Amino acid sequence: MLSHGVTLYAELFVNAQGDRQYLSFENEKIDLFASYFNNTAYNSFFFSCYDIQDLSQIDEFGYFYDLPSFYSIEVKGGRETSKSRELIQMRMISKNPNKQIQSFYRSFQKDLKKISGLQKHSQNNYFYLPTEKNIIPANPQSQNTRDHWEDFYLSK
């Protein structure tokens, strides 16, 4: 991230009305950032080389759809509990991203494939690390819920 000038942000719900808070990753606080994935207020995370100090640039629905989208990668999923781990899905928000974020995206994908023990699912097109936990799909429809979202998937 640092070599590409990209920052990692977590998006958490602040209240029931859907207001969001954006928290950036800092090397000195890795454990703090990782704890967001266990937080019931966690919504998603994203990579961006766009300075989001001006939060008015963020769409009321939570993601960049105008100028900032050219500089960002949206990431859904990643929630984790004692029983399950949710798939992570990355996508470029813009069809014409800037060169900086595009270069980071390619580099990031290459680096992911170098992770020791990473396996490709035989029937579906995703990679995973072996775990005792149930792997469940990312569920954008349940992001506003505060109940046990994993129980829905694990009961199927």
pTM tops 0.85: no
Give residue-wise pLDDT tens across range 56-67: 556 554 555 566
pLDDT tier at 125, thresholds 50, 70, 90: confident
Residues 6+ apart with CB under 8 A from 62: 11, 18, 20, 43, 44
As a whole number of angstroms, the distance between CA 138 and CA 135 comes to: 10
pLDDT tier at 94, thresholds 50, 70, 90: confident
pLDDT higher than 80, residue 31: yes
Task: List 51's β-bridge partners, or say none.
Answer: none
The answer to whether the CB of 58 falls within 8 A of the CB of 22 is yes
